[in-house]
Amino acid sequence: MTSTLQSNSVSQKLGFDPSYLDEFEAKIFIEGAQTRRRLVNFFVLLLLATVIANYGVLSNSIATVIGAMIVAPLMGPIMATTAAVVMGSAQRAWRSLVLVTIGVLCVIVFSALLTLVVPDITISFTNNGEIASRISPGIYALLTALGAGAAGAFIISRAEIADSMGGVAIAISLVPPLCVVGISISQGEWVAAGGALLLFLTNFFAILLAGGVVFMLIGLGRIVKDETRARLRRRSFVLIVLGTVLVAIPLTLTAFRTVVDTISRNKATTVVQEWLQGTSDRIVAVSVNGQLVTVTVEGVDQLKSVNELAKELEKALQHPVAVSLRVVPTKVEFSQSSSSP
């Protein structure tokens, strides 16, 4: 009896408060008498966030990009979509999804236009960390987004903390990846654009999935009484899970490739270190790209045969290799002033 009471108490503490339902719906769904005003607010904030994020990304400024994440309102309609699915409201779900789609297109197009005024020479897809980190997402991006989506759903479902979405907005990146898509399109970098779009889709489906699960667990789905709405919810969740699985496949492949490349680079570095034994030369960089191993060393000592290095690398990596060796000569000069003792 005591355990049952304790269980009910915990359920009440963690569950959705029915008295908060009207306020919850008014806050998360853009509808009613204030629809036009709220839509204007949404698009104004979205375009301003695009300006901030776009130039924050181009200037490689982490602080500026974080500011854009806080300003951007795009997470609202995504969360509204998954809430509508859980509540079995097809009309609300479609309306929210259309708003998300229009918002995404606006950000990409506006970002591409903003990039046209920036000199091409200042845009780097390798040296700019804010761009490079968003064009090749891995499985960690999905795991992070799932956590952020769950946190966002829990926060917005509770009246006392519903205004604390800033931290979640920072944790999950929506507008910055879309800006990278626009920047990449303006530069004709279609592979980079695809990678950034994959990151956005990862975050999108993660919010839908994790948010929907949280909404179900806290009891928001209990308001669904008829079978038609319940069937809509089941079918929608099947599509959400399918979408999440589809984006997880390339993310997993990227993560696997990263692990394999890291192992190969570590093996190659060990071989090069052994090859340099007996000299004062030091390793500057070692990279493995398929069969090509690029080695950069610094020093002035006489090195062993590069063929010998290639043979050892072939044994360690267990496949044929071609070695590109770059030697950076070191010159050290020492000067002492005449006034020194």
Give me the residue spans of the domains in the chain.
2-224, 260-328
Which residue, among 55, 62, 183, 198, has the nearest Cα to 120 in the 3D structure? 183
Question: Which amino acid does the sequence have at 165?
Answer: M
The predicted pLDDT at position 1 comes to 45
Give the model confidence (pLDDT) of 96-151 as tens digits.
999 999 999 999 999 999 999 999 899 999 899 999 999 989 899 999 999 999 99
Does the pLDDT at position 15 exceed 80? no
Does the pLDDT at position 299 exceed 60? yes
Q: Tell me if 204 sits within 8 A of 178, measured CB to CB.
A: no
Taking the C-alpha atoms of residue 105 and residue 169, their distance in angstroms, rounded to an integer, is 20
Which residue, among 32, 24, 150, has the nearest Cα to 87 in the 3D structure? 24
The predicted pLDDT at position 271 comes to 87
Question: Alpha helix (H) ranges present in 29-174?
Answer: 35-58, 62-71, 75-86, 90-115, 129-132, 139-156, 166-171
In CATH terms, 260-328 corresponds, of 3.40.1160.10, 3.30.300.10, 3.40.50.2000, 3.40.50.150, to 3.30.300.10
Q: CB burial class (10 A; 0-12, 13-18, 19+) of residue 338?
A: exposed
The predicted pLDDT at position 196 comes to 95
Q: Which of the 8 DSSP states describes residue 290?
A: T
Residue 10: band (very low, low, confident or very high) from pLDDT cuts 50, 70, 90: very low
**Any idea which residue has 């607010």 for tokens?**
41
At residue 288, the 3 state secondary structure works out as strand
Taking the C-alpha atoms of residue 72 and residue 100, their distance in angstroms, rounded to an integer, is 12
Q: Tell me if 251 sits within 8 A of 139, measured CB to CB.
A: yes
Does the pLDDT at position 6 exceed 60? no
Q: What is the CA radius of gyration of the chain?
A: 27
Question: Which amino acid does the sequence have at 91?
Answer: Q
Which residue, among 214, 191, 174, has the nearest Cα to 65 in the 3D structure? 174
Which residue, among 215, 171, 146, has the nearest Cα to 70 in the 3D structure? 171
Average pLDDT, the chain: 87
Q: Tell me if 2-224 shares its fold with 260-328.
A: no
Phi then psi for residue 328, to 5 deg, are -100, 115
Q: Which of the 8 DSSP states describes residue 5?
A: H
Q: Which of the 8 DSSP states describes residue 116?
A: T
Give the model confidence (pLDDT) of 163-207 as tens digits.
666 667 777 789 999 999 999 999 999 999 999 999 999 999 999
Question: Which amino acid does the sequence have at 176?
Answer: P
Does the pLDDT at position 3 exceed 80? no
Q: How many CB atoms lie within 10 A of CB 202?
A: 28
Residue 339: band (very low, low, confident or very high) from pLDDT cuts 50, 70, 90: low
CA atoms within 13 A on the CB side of 185: 18
CATH number belonging to domain 2-224 = 1.20.1080
